[in-house]
Amino acid sequence: MTTSGPFEALALIDHHVHGVVTADLDRAGLELLMTEASGPPAAGTTMFDSQLGFAIRRWCAPVLDLEPSAPAEDYLRRRVELGTAEVNRRLLTAAGVAQWLIDTGYLTDEITTPEQMAMASGTPTGQIVRLEAVAEKVARAGTSAAAWATTFAEELAIEAASTGAVGFKSIVAYRFGFDFEPIRPGSADVATAAGRLMRELETDPGARVADQVLLRHLIWTAIDIGKPVQFHVGFGDTDVRLHRSNPTLLTDFLIATESAGTPVMLLHCYPYHREAGYLAHVFSHVYMDVGAILNHVGARSAAVLAEALELTPFGKMLYSSDAFGLPELHYLGAIGFRRDIARVTGQFVADGAWGEADAERVAALIGSANANRVYRLDQP
Ligand SMILES: [Zn+2]
């Protein structure tokens, strides 16, 4: 199997991605970015002994002038030899992505800014504003409890305008779960909850928006704006309670928001990618992706993509890598998706179930056309 294939040059818009680390990484630092675990691997084990570890050695090693599947020690040595900036440049450029839509709300001090990403990759960027980050900024800056909701809406508009944001992101799955009350919270409840948060911040500067009333308020404010709202779904770090991030728990919320028409983008979704596909199937405003997980399941990625393609309408799936920190993840996401979509649709064609032109059209929809349409990227 090589990287060449019918979709080798498929245009990709990565609709959910983060920057890369610019500091030099030792082995421990690199391994920490290969996992959603919060600490080092168990004694006597290594993250290189995982689907992702094998994929890095198999596919990224040649970009760093090594043989495919070079030993981890050689790979780490070569990374140091080339230096982080050169490794970033090589892998980000080789990904050949047409545009990154960057979530700027997570550990921003440790990774490249959108401007730096554009420089290192030669690829234009768009931005996604994280609702909770703006809400916490407003609460920290201090305002009255009664004015918090208005100040948040104003700050969100300022942030969206200054960054040219094409969408918003909610991490309610991390902060509470999808079993929140689906309806818009009342303004008195929001003011009470905002007051509580600001008092909490006085004693604990690290306090976060975790009250479901506030989280719901953020989501409904974004729904009112009308730009796509992304939701983290499923697989993630230990902040998430996986069973409460099953997207079918959003069903009543999706019923309540369908008439608004604001696109709801379900990100990652694994192991609930079939549930997400069902929701994209029955709700006109729901879209999904299997970003992040295709890198982590490595040699099984085509199987997961095929499962996601069972029920998800082809105009409702998008490409993303959810790469964070390591340019290996940006690169593997892009070349892996091109390889997998060719493999999965190629099998449908070989089975006589699909025509070749339809396979090409579906790859183009998921690769970039759906993102272009839903985020209105073509419009100035
Ligand atoms: Zn992400």
Amino acid at residue number 107: L
Q: For residue range 189-216, list pLDDT tens digits in order.
A: 999 999 999 999 999 988 999 999 999 9
Q: Measure 58 CA to ligand 1 centroid, in angstroms.
A: 24
The Å distance, Cα 295 to ligand 1 centre, comes to: 13
User: What averages of pLDDT result for each successive group of 10 residues across the chain (380 residues)?
Assistant: 70 97 94 92 94 98 98 97 97 97 85 94 96 93 91 95 95 96 96 94 92 97 97 92 96 98 97 98 98 93 97 98 97 97 97 97 98 90
Residues 125, 117 contacting (CB under 8 angstroms): yes
Residue the block writes with tokens 């490794």:
87
C-alpha of residue 355 to centroid of ligand 1, in Å: 34
Determine the distance separating the centroid of ligand 1 and the alpha carbon of 350, expressed in angstroms. 35
Phi-psi region of 88 (alpha: psi -120 to 50; beta: other; left: phi over 0): alpha
Q: 176 CA to middle of ligand 1, Å? A: 17
> Ligand 1 centre and the CA of 240: distance in Å?
13
The pLDDT value recorded for residue 107 is 76
Backbone angles phi, psi at 15, to 5 degrees: -85, -5
Ligand 1 centroid distance, CA of 141 (Å): 26
Q: Are 194 and 186 in contact (CB under 8 A)?
A: no
How many angstroms does the Cα of residue 127 sit away from the middle of ligand 1?
13
- How far, in Å, are 211, 289, 303 from residue 33 at the CA level? 29, 21, 24
Pick the closest to residue 337 from 373, 311, 371 (CA basis): 371
Provide the strand spans (E) within the chain.
13-17, 99-103, 125-130, 167-170, 229-233, 264-268, 286-288
Ligand 1 centroid to Cα of residue 336, in Å, is 18
pLDDT at 142: 84
What's the 184 CA to ligand 1 centre distance in angstroms?
26
What separation in Å is there between the alpha carbon of 323 and the centre of ligand 1?
7
226 CA to middle of ligand 1, Å? Answer: 21
12-51 in b/e form (b: 16+ CB < 10 A) is bbbbbbbbbbeeebeeeebbbbbbeeeeebeeeeebbebe
Closest CA to 12 of 94, 110, 128: 94
At 312, list the tokens: 């998800």
> What spacing in Å lies between the alpha carbon of 151 and ligand 1's midpoint?
26
Q: Which two tokens stand for residue 262?
A: 């604001």
57 DSSP 8-state letter? I
- Give me the residue label for tokens 């168990």: 42
CA atoms within 13 Å, Cβ hemisphere of 59: 28
Query: How many angstroms does the Cα of residue 30 sit away from the middle of ligand 1?
Result: 17
With beta carbons less than 8 A apart as the criterion, state whether 244 and 271 touch.
no
Distance CA 244, CA 252 (A): 15
Flag whether the pTM goes above 0.85: yes
Residue 236 Cα to ligand 1 midpoint, Å, equals 9
The pLDDT value recorded for residue 177 is 97
Q: Which of 273, 178, 164 is nearest to 227 (CA)?
A: 164
Instruction: Give distance in angstroms: CA of 113 to centre of ligand 1.
Output: 15
Task: For 73-83, write each residue's pLDDT tens digit.
Answer: 999 999 999 99
Tell me how far the alpha carbon of residue 37 lies from the centroid of ligand 1, in angstroms. 15
- Ligand 1 mean position, distance from CA 324 (Å): 7
Find, among 329, 309, 319, 334, the residue nearest to 367 by Cα: 319
- pLDDT for 300: 95
276 CA to centre of ligand 1 in angstroms: 17
Rounded distance from Cα 320 to ligand 1 centre (Å): 9
Peptide bond into 124 cis (omega under 30): no
188 CA from centroid of ligand 1 (Å): 33
Q: How far, in Å, is the centroid of ligand 1 from the Cα of 358? A: 30
CA quadruple 170, 175, 181, 185: dihedral, nearest 10: -70
Q: How many Å lie between the centroid of ligand 1 and the Cα of residue 233?
A: 10
